[in-house]
Chains A and B, each alone.
Chain A
Amino acid sequence: MSNYFLLFPILFPVVAGVLVMTLFKGIKERKIKLGIVFVSLVVETAAFLYSLFGPEEGLMLWKLNDMLQITFRVDTMSRIFGTLVAVVWLLVGCFAFEYMKHEESEERFFGFYLVVEGTLAALTMADNMITYYIFFEAMTLTSLPLVLHEMHKAAVMAGLKYLFYSIAGGFMALLAVFLLANGGGLGSFTAGGILDPASLAERPGAVLAAAMLLVLGFGTKAGMFPMHGWLPTAHPEAPAPASAVLSGIITKMGVLGIIRGIYYVIGPSFLKGTWVQTVWLILSISTVFMGSMLAYREKVMKKRLAYSTVSQVSYILFGLAVMDPAAFTGAIAHVIFHSLVKNTLFLAAGAIIYKTGKTLIADLKAIGKEMPVVIWCFTLVSLTLVGIPPTSGFVSKWYLATGALASGVPVFSWLGPVILLVSALLTAGYLLPVTIHGFFPGADFDYSTLKKKEPTLWMLIPMVIMTAGAVIYGIFPESLLTVIRSAAQVLFG
């Protein structure tokens, strides 16, 4: 257990980020600064991917005391989430090089952007609950400066809201860890659960309470009702690249926390059919519906996307709550697809703000004529999110629905797919108007005022790559699904 290379992707970005924040004031030339950040990001991505797919050995780093150990190890879940983080972080970083031109204090942004990647690397590779919790809090704290970047009143208030929701959620998760600690819940993550069977039988109530607290606590980060309030406030205030990764990556760390807690510590077989599953299903289903409704009514672009995240991440949580191999496969696939889609959507919204300054959806008439590539990307990923074949959203929703139907959970096995369909309709309702008005502004529209406003390649290439990923995975999903299915098989025995 001493593969010290695992530390590299965790520590390197932290060190690089701190250096960026402290030493960059002295460098005048913007190109040199960004060059250094770019090189750091590339090195980090390579190192991260190598540690994910390199030697299997784990690392026992430190003992806080006799029962708290900080350990890292890579398994299938780490590989899926880690690859996603590594790739998306690099792409969004490239987008930010251009976007942050019109914002102040770039050093701080890029510094913390790097530091957060270190905590994310630690999260994906964490091997027990306490390690996960520690880096979860570290992620909250280091991502906070990204939210309150602009430092005006609304941004600070949004940052505080983000912080308090996260701390409340974090502490619920910590309480769950405390409750699980006595039954051996601090051991190394193992598919199917690690709790001592004797303690499960002796105090099922405490374990169930812990499971509920885990779901609620990590669900805060994932934006699940009733702890979703921070998302629609924090996203519009953060700079576009930050909102993109908040929605696309950081919410997924809440999902990963739930997967680790429920599937790798407590074990799905214990929870299936209990009240925890019922409450979890009710919460996730109502979040799916409520998020879509609120998004449909929202007029500000980034807020609408934030509500959409609330709804979509709860698709994933619903898939996890069903506790069925097919639904699990759908949930994990949706993690990846939603991340690609939502990052692209936020980057597109950011590109529009950067070039035109428009934030309201009603102002976006004929935007497709001005920025065709951006709006084409927007359109394609919108269709993905709605779930129209052959895009990837269709694949994940197919697995979610068939899994739910096959699971045999009373009521929810049919109610879930119904809500998913209704929500898909609403998704079409709130995303497609941008495309429709963007390309077809109406007969009486005056085309003479339009100018070409396409952003530079730094912005376009990340969007195009992620859009391509979202669409192509829908046509050729099998390689990815095989990996997820094998993980699900181990989990459900």
Chain B
Amino acid sequence: MAFVYNFPLFSIILSMFSAIISSVLSGKWAKRVSLIMVCLVLLMSSGLLVYTHSTGEAVTYMMGHFPAPWGNEIRFGVLEAVMAVFFSIVMLLSLLGGMSHVFADVEDTKTNLFFVLIDMTMSSLLAMIYTNDLFTGYVFVEINTIAAAGLIMIRQHGHSLVASIRYLVMSSIGSGLFLIALSILYGITGELLMVPARDGVQVLRESGNYSLPLLLSLGLMSVAMAIKSGLYPFHTWIPDTYGYSTTTASAVLSSLVSKAYIILLIKIYVRVFGYAYADAGHILNVLFVLGLVAMVMGSVEAIRQRDVNRMIAYSSVAQIGYIYMGLGLGTEAALMASLFHIMTHAATKSMLFVSMTGLREASGGKTDRRSLSGAGYRNPLAGITFLVGSLSMVGFPMLSGFISKLLFARAAIGVSGKMLPALLVLALSTILNAIYFLRVVITIYSPQGSDAPLDNVMDDEGHVLTPEAYQEAERAKLQTEGVFLAPKAGALVKNGPLMSVAMVLMMLLNFFLGLCSGPITEALLAGLRIFG
């Protein structure tokens, strides 16, 4: 057994221990521990990727060498390694990008807790990627939920408290459903490890016994994960959660946490129940339809938002819809497209949140569209990052979003009955994405105040104001309230060095995914074939 085999377990354990250690450290040291931990995980996952890519085989790793039913298993192939590498990269960039704001947004005595939560999140993400045991999966789903709720709450103002309670309630329903489904499956097959459970399911399907509980179990698991990853119509917790948290938390929650649940769900489909069974039970059709609805409704809601942070959050609803649409198409190519879109969305959404923070700083701490006008000139790097992120979301060529759309469309062609709706909704969703993202891009590059007349502004007596009068009134109002004024046009806002580095790296990552997708899609496909 190669030494590399230990890496998945090491990285899970390492991140858990970092959390434990950090709980007694100061914020500053906890930060260092977190950063070192993520870098080490990145290194180990890269090593694992190189190894698994060269052997091309999936490895089952028994913890403590106890065989089932006592032992606990980890299983990894190319796919798991790719995801682990990618998740640690995005985690690292999100941490770097939001670092200065963590110390600004979080109460001084609690900064180490923030990093404890980040470490916990990291360990649960890795565990969900690697585990080969349903119950372990459930345990880490719970850990992830609690850590995520903490990440939302740690900013401690009204909105984020409400958001975290809402998140906790919705997520608990999801966890509860998952637990029920797990109990049912355990009850009828007597197994919790994934591979023996698959044999149990196989026996039941052939004998025809317990067909309803079996289907119910799969259905409940799908619903549970749909709630937790925010598939429409279970998306109501998303906008507040992502919109009001501190930058790193928003980036991590939207790009990683919701994706790990989807990976776990794919694992359950492929490894335990078999994709054909999910298809025969019409569960895939339901996911497909919900995915399509999410693609449209998420964008429609996003268009209606005035606050750009909430708009970005609603766009996540649409993007999650893409991923479930791919799941619902039910072919190997579509599943690969979904996995690629998980990467695309993770890379792009974290980038959008970080750059929006930079733009917010340049606009007096506000994120509504009007205040953001001209922000692209006041904070050029954040403006360019936001531009690249938006274009990627819309699907402009050479960026990762384009490759996602291409893969989805190619996968949809030839799937009978689903091809036309998928292609049409893809087209519609592209246009809707363009409407809200590019509107913001144009706003941040228009001279300050010039977008005010875009919607006619009235004063108290109902007269329409000219842009100059509006600006005058707005500045006067702000001054009387003693609010920090947005820097005037021409005054540059400096990003912290870490944030600048993070933004540049995020852009590079996006271009990398867009320009060099060949090896990645090959690795994903190879990983998918040995995933089951």
Interface residues of chain A, those whose CB is within 8 Å of chain B, are 62-66, 68, 130, 133-134, 137-138, 141, 148, 151-153, 156-157, 159-160, 163-164, 167-168, 171-172, 174-175, 178-179, 181-182
Contact = CB atoms under 8 A, between A and B. Distances in A.
Contact of B454 (A66, A156, A182): A156
A415 B349 CA distance: 54
A159 B430 contact: no
B453 A163 contact: no
B434 interface: yes
A134 B434 contact: no
Nearest to B520: A65
A62 B515 contact: yes
A175 B451 contact: no
A160 B439 contact: yes
Contact of A134 (B391, B398, B414, B430): B398
A182 B412 CA distance: 12
Contacts of A62: 515
A133 B402 CA distance: 11
A175 B453 CA distance: 37
Nearest to B439: A160
B438 A163 contact: yes
Interface in B477-521: 514-515, 517-518, 521
Contacts of A151: 446-447, 450
B397 A159 contact: no
Interface stretch (B69-77, B129-137, B403-411): B403-411
A160 B515 contact: no
Contacts of B517: 64-65
A472 to B, nearest CB: 40
B446 A160 contact: no
B423 A164 contact: no
Contacts of A152: 450
A175 B427 contact: yes
12 contacts: A64-B514, A138-B396, A151-B446, A151-B447, A160-B439, A163-B438, A164-B435, A167-B394, A167-B430, A175-B409, A175-B427, A178-B409
A156 B409 contact: no
Contacts of A163: 434, 438
A101 to B, nearest CB: 20
Contacts of B453: 153
A181 B413 CA distance: 10
A279 B464 CA distance: 47
Contacts of B203: none
A178 to B, nearest CB: 4
B403 A178 contact: no
B169 interface: no
A62 B397 CA distance: 13
A280 B259 CA distance: 45
B409 A141 contact: no
Contacts of B454: 153, 156-157
Nearest to A154: B453
Nearest to B455: A153
Contacts of B458: none
B20 interface: no
B314 to A, nearest CB: 19
A72 to B, nearest CB: 15
Contacts, number: 72
Contacts of A164: 431, 434-435
A473 B396 CA distance: 40
B442 interface: yes
A160 B442 contact: yes
A179 B413 contact: yes
A130 B365 CA distance: 42
A313 B405 CA distance: 31
Contacts of A153: 450-451, 453-454
Contacts of B447: 151
Contacts of B435: 164
Nearest to B414: A182
A175 B450 contact: no
Contact of B521 (A65, A160, A179, A182): A65
Q: 4 closest A-B pairs (Cβ-Cβ)?
A: A134-B397, A65-B518, A178-B409, A167-B434
B398 A178 contact: no
Nearest to B409: A178
A167 B413 contact: no
A167 B430 CA distance: 8
Given A65-B517, A167-B434, A175-B409, A156 B446 contact: yes
Given A148-B442, A171-B427, 9 more contacts: A65-B518, A137-B397, A151-B446, A153-B454, A167-B430, A167-B431, A167-B434, A175-B427, A179-B413
A168 B438 CA distance: 14
A152 B414 CA distance: 47
B397 A141 contact: no
Contacts of A137: 396-397
Interface string B114-135: 0000000000000000000000
Contacts of B439: 160
A133 to B, nearest CB: 7
Contacts of A133: 397
Given A134-B398, A148-B442, A175-B423, A156 B451 contact: yes
B438 A172 contact: no
Given A65-B521, A167-B394, A167-B431, A160 B406 contact: no
Contacts of B438: 160, 163
Interface string B447-477: 1001101100000000000000000000000
B469 to A, nearest CB: 15
Contacts of B406: 68, 178
A425 B505 CA distance: 60
Contacts of A134: 397-398
Nearest to B407: A65
A263 B180 CA distance: 60
Contact of B431 (A66, A130, A156, A171): A171
B378 to A, nearest CB: 15
Contact of B427 (A65, A159, A172, A179): A172
A334 B477 CA distance: 59
Contacts of B515: 62, 64
Nearest to B452: A153
A64 B430 CA distance: 21
Contact of B442 (A64, A159, A167): A159
A160 B431 CA distance: 12
Given A152-B450, A178-B409, A179-B413, A141 B431 contact: no
A459 B188 CA distance: 85
Contacts of A138: 396-397
From A62, A64, A179, name the one whose CB has the most chain B CB atoms within 10 angstroms: A64
A64 B397 CA distance: 10
A163 B397 CA distance: 16
Nearest to A157: B454
A389 to B, nearest CB: 45
B10 to A, nearest CB: 33
Contacts of B442: 148, 156, 159-160
A40 B408 CA distance: 41
Contacts of A66: 518
Nearest to A145: B445
From A66, A148, A175, name the one whose CB has the most chain B CB atoms within 10 angstroms: A175
A171 B405 CA distance: 11
Given A148-B442, A168-B431, A178-B406, A63 B518 contact: yes
A141 B521 contact: no
B518 A141 contact: no
Interface string B380-399: 00000000000100101110
Contacts of A64: 398, 403, 514-515, 517-518
Interface string B288-299: 000000000000
Contacts of B434: 163-164, 167
Contacts of A68: 406
A444 to B, nearest CB: 40
Contacts of A181: 410
A170 to B, nearest CB: 9
